[in-house]
């Protein structure tokens, strides 16, 4: 066989393999998108799709559910080639500023001076790996124009303020930083690794975050989820 022909066959095979892998990795995300759209249009039609803020979804789960609504997107979902979701998105099914967001775990809260829609909570000892420091990041707590729904207890510039589990942090919004392109009303929640210098790593890189599944007692990893609606089976649900 001609070497150039062999090389062409190999390239086509690689491209096809990569394309098939991307299709598999994004297929379930597309299904979740359809569900999110259906939920946003008519949440009252699907009360069985909801989780509730403050619920512990398994007896050994260290974290409380941080808000009410539909768990729409999971950790490691793929929205486009090369983009991996770093946390979970919970859609309240309400207008902006109505669905409460609470602390999933105790720690010390920081809100950087420029943050309109986000807070981050330092946990000095990971409940699942003693001695490891982690940070819990909550965002989209503002309207499209950047009007914040974060509790007035945490003004811009707040640094390392202690909060208990269940503390009200604010309310779900749809702020994205682009007032012409708001998101659906939801909370984005992620677990971010410490940078080893007393700060947090860049949350935009999934490699700097942890799979929240064991912390919340639910299957929240897009690669292992069965694609069904994820609801809490713990006390109260």
Residue 160 lies in a domain: yes
As a whole number, mean pLDDT of residues 164-191 equals: 91
For 45-71, how does the pLDDT look when each residue is reduced to its tens digit (9 = 90+)? 999 999 999 999 999 999 999 999 999
On whether residue 228 sits in a domain, the answer given is: no
State the average pLDDT over residues 115-127.
Answer: 97
Helix (H, G, I), strand (E, B) or coil at 8: helix
Q: How far apart are the first and last CA of the chain?
A: 64
Q: Tell me whether residue 158 is in a domain.
A: yes
Chain centroid offset of residue 31 CA = 17
Residue 7 main-chain phi, psi, to 5 deg: -65, -40
Query: Is the distance from CB of 171 to CB of 98 less than 8 angstroms?
Result: yes
Number of domains within the chain: 1
Q: What are the backbone dihedrals phi and psi of residue 17, each rounded to the nearest 5 degrees, phi first? A: -65, -45
* Domain of residue 145, CATH code: 2.70.70.10
Q: Is residue 170 part of a domain?
A: yes
Q: What is the pLDDT of residues 22-39, one digit of tens each?
A: 444 455 676 788 899 999
Between strands 134-139 and 186-193, the pairing is: antiparallel
Q: Which residue has the tokens 């003004």?
A: 155
For residue 115, tell me if it sits in a domain. Answer: yes
Of the chain, the percentage scoring pLDDT greater than 90 comes to 73
* Residue 52 domain flag: yes
Burial of 43 (0-12, 13-18, 19+ CB in 10 A): middle
Asked if residue 224 is part of any domain, the answer here is no
Q: Which domain holds residue 191?
A: 3-216
Stretch 67-85: mean pLDDT: 87
Decide if pLDDT at 189 tops 70. yes
Complete DSSP assignment for 99-134: SEEE-SS-EEEE--TT-SS-EEEEESSBTTBTT--E
- SS3 of 61-72: CCCCCCECEEEE
Measured CA to CA, the distance from residue 137 to residue 120 in angstroms comes to 4
Is 233 within the bounds of a domain?
no
Report whether 119 contacts 141 (CB < 8 A): yes
């Amino acid at each position: 066989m001609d070497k150039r022909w062999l090389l062409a066959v190999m390239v086509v095979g690689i491209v096809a393999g990569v394309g098939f892998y991307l299709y598999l990795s994004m297929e379930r995300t597309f299904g979740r998108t359809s569900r999110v759209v259906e939920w946003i249009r008519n949440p009252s039609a699907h009360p069985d799709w909801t989780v509730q803020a403050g619920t512990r979804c398994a007896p050994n789960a260290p974290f409380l559910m941080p808000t009410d609504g539909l768990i729409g997107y999971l950790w490691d979902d793929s929205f486009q080639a090369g983009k991996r979701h770093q946390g979970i998105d919970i859609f309240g099914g309400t207008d902006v500023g109505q669905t409460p967001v609470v602390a999933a775990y105790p720690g010390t809260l920081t809100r950087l001076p420029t943050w309109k829609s986000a807070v981050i909570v330092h946990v000095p000892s990971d409940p699942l790996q003693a001695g490891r420091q982690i940070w819990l990041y909550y965002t989209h707590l503002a309207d499209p124009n950047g009007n914040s729904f974060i509790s007035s207890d945490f003004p811009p510039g707040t640094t390392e303020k202690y909060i208990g589990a269940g503390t009200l942090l604010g309310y779900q919004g749809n702020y994205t930083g682009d007032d012409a392109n708001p998101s659906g009303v939801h909370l984005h929640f992620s677990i971010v690794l410490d940078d080893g210098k007393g700060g947090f790593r860049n949350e935009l890189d999934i490699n700097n975050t942890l799979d929240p599944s064991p912390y919340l007692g639910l299957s929240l990893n897009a690669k292992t989820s069965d694609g069904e609606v994820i609801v809490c089976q713990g006390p109260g649900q």
